[in-house]
C-alpha cells in the first residue's frame, strides 16, 4: 500500500502518514516549532492575564466588602467573608495553573485558544481516539516542564544562589528543547500521553479541470464536447502522473506565461506546432486526455509515475 | 440541505463528464460538501446550530467520505480532489475521534471502576513506592535518633514551628490540639489541598526521568514524618500523634503513595519497556497513570477537608483513629473490589 501513496503526500519533512481505525492512510502535518511556541506564549499570556484579573477582582471585593462589615461592627462576619474570598482565590489559582489546558484540550476542538489561533491541535499518535487520559497525562507533565523551573528560579533568586538558578535554567532547557531531539517533535508530555500536535488542514474543493467548459476562457471554446485536439496514445504515453499533476497545477494557477511555456514544451515533445493564443484550450484537452489514459491504465493495475518510467 | 459555497453539478454535468473519475466525484460531491459544512461548524464551536440529523449523520458521512477517498486513490489522478478529500477526512477524523464530548460520562466510567482498575494494574509500583516510603520514614527516625541535629535538615522549617527537639511535652501536646472555633479552617483546607496536589503532581511528573526523582521526593517527604514520629515518641506521645495524623493522613499518604507509584510506573515502563517500543510503553503507562493521578487529586480534596475540618473539630484520640481507620478501609475496599470484571487498567 505504501507504494500507492505518491510523492504528493510528502511535501515537507514534517509530513507523516497516520492510519485511521478504518485503515485509511492519511497524510498529516506536524505543527511547526514556531506555531507551538507561539501558541504556548499566547496561552501563558492568557493564563497570567486571567490570574491577575481574578486577583484584582477578589482584592477589590475584599476591600470594598470588608469595610461594610467593620463599619457595622461585625468582626466575625468580616473575617468569614475574607476567608471565603481567600479560599476562592487559592482554588482559582490552582485551576488556572492546572485546568486551563485540560479544559480546552478536552473540548471538541482539542486545542487551547492559543493553539486554535496558531492553527494547530492535539491528536492521538496511533490514529485512534484522543482520550481524556491522554490530555490529562500530557498536561500533568507541564508541571515539570514549565512551572517548576519558573518557581525554582523565583525562589533561587531570593537567596541569590547562582547554582540553583543555573540548575533551573538547565532543567528548563532540557525540556524546552525536547521536541528538537526526536523525529516527531514530541515534548515530554506527548511521549507519556501518546499524543502529538498537528496542523489543522484547510482546503476547499476545487473545480474539476478535466470537464468541458471549466476553463477561464471556456466561452471561446465553442462546442466543448468536441475537443479541438485528439491526441494519439503514443502522444499521451510520453508523460506520467507527475507531469499530469504539474499540468493540473499550471492550469489552476492560470498564468499566461507559464501556460505558453508548458504548451511549447509539450508540443515540442510530441511533435506538434504550438498554437499561440489557444494555449489554455490545448493544455485542457491534453490534460483531460492524458488523465483519461492514465486512469484507464490505473484501473488495469499499471501505473506510470513519470515520464521516465 | 446544508449551505455550500459552490454550485453542485446537476445530472447534466455528471452525464457530460467524460472521465469516470469525474463522474465519481460529481455523484458524491453533495455528501462531501455536507460533511464539510458540518465539520466546519463544529470546528467553529457552533455545536448548538447543528441539527440533530446532521449530528446523527456525521459518523456515517465520515465513513462514506473516507471510502470515497480510498476509491478516489485507486481511480482518480485529480490531485486537487484527492488533497481536498484527504484534508476533509482528516478534519472529520478529528471530530469523530476527538475527545469524548461529555466529561460526565468519562467521570462515571472513571469512578465506577476505571480508576480502581488502573490502580490495580500498577500494583507492583504501589508496593515499591510503599516500601520506599516506609524506608524513608525509618531512615528519618534513625537519622534524628542518632543525631538530633539532623532534625532541622529533615523536617522543613516551615512545618516544624514549635515542634523541634527539646520541646516540652506540653508544647507538643498543644500542637496536636484542634484549633478553637472554626474561623480559618476552610482557608487552611484550601491551602493544604493546593499545596499537596502540586507536590503529588510533581512526584508524578518527575517519574519521566525514569522514576528516580520520584523516589527521592518520596523519601524526602517520609523522612520528615519519621523524624517527627521520633520526636513525639520521645515524649510518650506516639499514639496521640498517630491519631492526629491518621484523620487525614490515611487519605493523604495513600494519595502520595499513588502519585509516587504513578511516576514510578511511567519511569519503569520507559526504562524496561519489555517487547514494546519505549514510546508505546511510555504512552500506555502514561494514560493509566493519568487516571490514577486524577483520582489522587480527588483524594487530596478529601484529605484537605478532613485535615481542615475533621481534625480540628474532633479532639479525642479514639474518634480520630475511627475516622482515619474508616477512610483507610474505605479506600482499600474501593481499590480492591470495584470494577473487577473490567480488568486490564486503561481499557
- DSSP one-letter string for A112-151: -HHHHHHTEEEEETTSS---HHHHHHHHHTHIIIIIHHHH
Q: Give me the number of domains chain A comprises.
A: 2
Q: What's the pLDDT tens digit per position in B98-139? A: 776 566 777 888 888 889 999 999 999 999 999 999 999 999
Predicted local distance difference test score (pLDDT) of residue B120: 92
How many percent of chain A have pLDDT more than 90?
A: 12
- Residues B51-107: pLDDT tens digits? 888 888 888 999 999 988 888 888 888 888 888 998 899 989 888 887 765 667 778
Chain B residues near residue A16 by CB distance under 8 angstroms: none
Which has more confidence, A142 or B181?
A142
First and final CA of chain A: distance in angstroms? 19
What's residue B131's pLDDT? 95
A30: DSSP letter: B
pLDDT reading at B343 higher than 50? no
Spacing of C-alpha B256 from chain mean position: 13
Q: Could you give the count of Cα atoms lying within 13 Å of A153 in the half-sphere of its Cβ?
A: 14
Whether residue A238 contacts residue B29, with contact meaning beta carbons closer than 8 Å, is answered with no
Residue A3 reports pLDDT greater than 60:
no
> Is the full-model pTM beyond 0.90?
no
User: Which residues lie below 8 Å from residue A225, measured CB to CB, with a gap of 6+?
Assistant: A212, B16
Full DSSP string of B202-241: HHHHGGGTTTHHHHHHHHHHHHHHHHHHHHHHHTT-HHHH
Cβ neighbourhood burial of A276 (10 Å; 0-12, 13-18, 19+):
exposed
Predicted confidence at residue A255, as pLDDT, reads 85
User: Considering only residues 287 to 306 of chain A, which have any Cβ-Cβ distance to chain B shorter than 8 Å?
Assistant: 288, 291-292, 294-295, 298-299
Check whether residue A193 and residue A241 sit in a common domain. Answer: no
Task: Kindly state the cell numbers that stand for B45.
Answer: 464551536
For A129-139, b where at least 16 C-beta lie within 10 A, e where not — what string?
bbbbbbbbbbb
In a domain, A231, yes or no: yes
Please check whether residue B279 is in contact with residue A191, taking contact to mean a CB–CB distance below 8 angstroms: yes
Residue with the larger pLDDT of the pair B231 and A69: B231
A115 touches chain B (CB under 8 A): no
Other CB atoms within 10 A of residue B18 CB: 15
Pull the grid cell for residue B288. 493509566
Residue A56: inside a domain, yes or no?
yes
Collapsing DSSP to helix, strand or coil, B76 comes out as coil
Q: How many residues does chain A have?
A: 309
Q: Are residues A285 and A188 in the same domain?
A: no
Nearest in space to B13 (alpha carbons), one of B25, B1, B30, B26 = B26
Is A157 within a domain? Answer: no
CB contact under 8 A, A193 and B290: yes
Write down the pLDDT at residue B196: 81
Confidence grade of residue B249 (pLDDT, cut at 50, 70, 90):
confident
Considering the domain architecture, whether residues A194 and A248 belong to the same structural domain is answered as no
A191 and A277 fall within a common domain: no
- Cβ of B307 under 8 Å from any chain A Cβ? no
Is the predicted pLDDT of residue A87 greater than 70, yes or no? yes
Determine the average pLDDT of the residues in A158-186.
75
Place of cell 509515475: A305
Query: Residue A17: enclosing H or E segment and its boundaries?
Result: strand A15-19
Same domain, A80 and A195: yes
Per-residue model confidence (pLDDT) at position B251: 92
Residues in contact with A171: Cβ distance below 8 Å, sequence separation at least 6, in sequence order: A148, A149, A152
Q: By CA distance, what is A290's nearest residue in B?
A: B77
Give me the residues of A, 197-236, that contact B with CB < 8 A. Answer: 200-206, 208-212, 225
Shortest CA gap A108–chain B (Å): 6
Average pLDDT over chain A, rounded to whole? 80
In the predicted model, is pLDDT for residue B156 greater than 80? no
Domain boundary residue among A169, A199, A229? Answer: A199
Longest dimension (CA), chain B: 100
Q: What percent of chain A has pLDDT over 70?
A: 84
Predicted pLDDT of residue B259: 93
Within a domain: A169: no
CA distance A53 to B144: 47
C-alpha cell at A167: 540548575
Nearest-CA distance A221 → chain B (Å): 15
* Chain A interface includes B298 (CB < 8 A): no
- A121 with A223, same domain? no
User: Residue A127: inside a domain, yes or no?
Assistant: yes
Please report the pLDDT score of residue B3 as a whole number.
42
Q: Work out the number of other CB atoms within 10 angstroms of the CB of residue B69.
A: 23
Exposed / middle / buried, residue B67 (Cβ in 10 Å: 0-12, 13-18, 19+): middle
Residues A228 and A288 in one domain: yes
ipTM: 0.79
d(CA B244, CA B225): 13
Residue of A nearest to B205 (CA): A141
B275-310: per-residue pLDDT in tens? Answer: 888 888 888 999 899 889 989 988 988 888 888 777
- With a cut of 60, say whether residue B33 has pLDDT above it: yes
Alpha carbon A284 to its chain's center: 33
B142: which residues sit within 8 A by CB, 6+ positions away?
Answer: B226
Question: A85-117 burial by CB neighbour count: b if 16+ within 10 A, else e?
Answer: bbbebbebebeebbebbbebbbbebbbbebbbe
Q: What is the DSSP secondary-structure string of B299-315?
A: HHHHHHHIIIIIHHH--
Q: Are residue A130 and residue A277 in the same domain, yes or no?
A: no
Q: How many CB atoms lie within 10 A of CB B22?
A: 25
pLDDT number for residue A229:
76
Smallest Cβ distance to A203: which of B6, B20, B87? B87
pLDDT of residue B123: 92
Is B292 in a helix, a strand, or coil? helix
Q: Are residues A186 and A239 in the same domain?
A: no
B36 reaches A (C-beta below 8 A): yes
| pLDDT above 60 (res A219) | no
The residue range of the domain holding A293 is: 218-299
Enumerate residues 6+ apart whose C-beta is below 8 A from B71: B24
A4 confidence band (pLDDT: 50, 70, 90): very low
pLDDT at B261: 93
Question: Is A99 contained in some domain?
Answer: yes
Under a CB-based contact definition with an 8 Å cutoff, are residues A108 and B99 in contact?
A: yes
B191 CB contacts (<8 Å, ≥6 apart)?
Answer: A90
Q: Any CB–CB contact under 8 A between A35 and chain B?
A: no
Chain B residue whose CA is closest to A80 = B183
**A33 and A106 co-located in one domain:** yes
The answer on A189 and A244 residing in a single domain is no
Residue A1 pLDDT: 35
Q: Which of residues 186-215 of B touch A (CB under 8 A)?
A: 186-187, 189-191, 193-194, 197-198, 201-202, 204-206, 208
- List the single residue in A with minimal CA-CA distance to B32: A205
Amino acid at each position: 500500500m505504501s507504494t500507492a501513496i505518491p510523492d504528493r503526500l510528502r511535501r515537507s519533512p514534517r509530513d507523516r502518514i497516520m492510519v485511521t481505525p478504518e485503515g485509511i492512510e492519511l497524510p498529516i502535518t506536524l505543527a511547526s516549532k514556531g506555531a507551538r511556541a507561539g501558541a504556548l506564549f499566547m496561552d501563558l499570556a492568557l493564563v497570567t492575564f486571567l490570574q491577575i484579573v481574578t486577583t484584582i477582582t477578589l482584592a477589590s471585593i475584599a476591600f470594598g466588602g470588608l469595610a461594610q462589615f467593620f463599619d457595622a461592627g461585625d468582626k466575625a462576619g468580616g473575617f468569614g467573608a475574607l476567608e471565603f474570598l481567600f479560599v476562592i482565590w487559592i482554588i482559582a489559582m490552582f485551576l488556572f495553573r492546572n485546568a486551563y489546558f485540560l479544559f480546552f484540550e478536552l473540548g471538541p476542538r482539542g486545542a487551547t485558544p492559543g493553539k486554535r489561533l496558531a492553527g494547530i491541535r492535539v491528536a492521538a499518535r496511533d490514529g485512534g481516539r484522543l482520550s481524556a487520559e491522554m490530555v490529562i497525562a500530557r498536561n500533568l507533565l507541564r508541571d515539570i516542564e514549565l512551572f517548576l523551573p519558573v518557581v525554582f528560579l523565583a525562589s533561587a533568586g531570593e537567596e541569590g544562589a547562582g547554582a540553583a538558578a543555573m540548575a533551573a535554567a538547565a532543567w528548563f532547557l532540557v525540556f524546552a528543547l525536547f521536541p528538537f531531539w526526536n523525529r516527531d517533535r514530541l515534548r515530554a508530555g506527548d511521549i507519556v500521553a501518546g499524543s502529538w500536535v498537528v496542523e489543522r488542514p484547510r482546503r476547499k474543493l476545487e473545480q474539476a479541470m478535466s470537464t468541458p467548459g471549466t476553463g477561464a476562457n471556456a466561452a471561446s471554446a465553442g462546442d466543448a464536447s468536441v475537443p479541438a485536439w485528439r491526441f494519439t496514445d503514443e502522444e499521451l504515453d510520453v508523460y506520467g502522473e507527475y507531469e499530469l499533476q504539474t499540468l493540473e497545477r499550471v492550469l489552476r494557477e492560470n498564468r499566461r506565461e507559464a501556460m505558453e511555456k508548458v504548451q511549447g514544451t509539450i508540443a515540442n515533445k510530441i511533435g506538434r506546432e504550438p498554437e499561440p493564443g489557444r494555449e489554455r484550450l490545448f493544455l485542457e484537452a491534453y490534460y483531460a486526455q492524458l488523465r483519461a489514459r492514465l486512469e484507464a491504465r490505473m484501473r488495469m493495475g499499471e501505473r506510470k509515475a513519470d515520464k521516465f518510467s | 440541505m446544508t449551505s455550500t459555497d459552490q454550485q453542485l453539478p446537476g445530472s447534466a454535468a455528471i452525464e457530460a463528464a467524460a472521465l469516470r473519475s469525474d463522474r465519481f466525484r460529481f455523484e458524491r460531491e453533495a455528501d462531501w460538501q455536507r460533511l464539510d459544512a458540518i465539520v466546519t461548524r463544529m470546528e467553529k464551536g457552533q455545536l448548538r446550530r447543528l441539527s440533530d440529523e446532521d449530528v446523527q449523520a456525521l459518523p456515517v458521512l465520515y465513513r462514506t467520505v473516507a471510502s470515497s477517498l480510498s476509491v478516489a486513490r485507486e481511480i482518480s489522478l485529480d490531485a486537487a480532489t484527492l488533497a481536498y478529500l484527504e484534508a476533509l477526512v482528516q478534519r472529520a477524523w478529528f471530530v469523530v475521534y476527538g475527545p469524548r464530548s461529555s466529561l460526565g460520562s468519562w467521570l462515571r466510567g472513571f469512578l465506577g471502576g476505571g480508576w480502581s482498575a488502573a490502580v490495580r494494574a500498577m500494583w507492583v509500583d504501589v508496593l515499591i513506592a510503599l516500601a520506599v516510603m516506609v524506608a524513608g520514614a525509618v531512615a528519618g527516625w534513625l537519622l534524628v535518633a542518632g543525631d538530633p541535629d539532623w532534625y532541622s535538615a529533615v523536617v522543613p522549617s516551615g512545618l516544624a514551628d514549635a515542634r523541634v527537639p527539646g520541646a516540652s511535652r506540653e508544647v507538643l501536646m498543644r500542637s496536636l490540639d484542634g484549633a478553637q472555633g472554626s474561623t480559618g479552617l476552610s482557608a487552611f483546607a484550601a491551602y493544604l489541598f493546593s499545596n499537596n496536589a502540586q507536590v503529588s503532581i510533581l512526584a508524578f511528573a518527575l517519574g519521566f526521568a525514569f522514576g528516580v526523582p520520584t523516589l527521592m521526593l518520596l523519601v524526602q517527604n517520609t523522612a520528615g514524618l519519621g523524624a517527627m514520629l521520633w520526636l513525639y515518641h520521645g515524649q510518650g506521645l506516639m499514639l496521640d500523634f498517630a491519631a492526629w495524623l491518621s484523620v487525614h493522613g490515611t487519605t493523604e499518604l495513600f494519595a502520595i503513595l499513588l502519585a509516587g507509584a504513578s511516576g514510578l510506573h511511567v519511569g519503569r515502563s520507559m526504562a524496561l519497556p519489555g517487547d514494546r517500543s519505549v514510546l508505546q510503553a511510555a504512552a500506555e503507562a502514561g494514560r493509566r497513570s493519568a487516571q490514577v493521578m486524577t483520582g489522587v487529586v480527588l483524594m487530596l480534596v478529601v484529605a484537605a477537608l478532613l485535615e481542615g475540618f475533621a481534625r480540628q473539630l474532633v479532639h479525642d484520640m479514639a474518634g480520630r483513629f475511627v475516622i482515619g481507620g474508616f477512610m483507610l478501609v474505605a479506600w482499600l475496599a474501593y481499590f480492591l473490589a470495584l470494577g473487577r470484571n473490567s480488568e486490564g487498567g486503561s481499557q
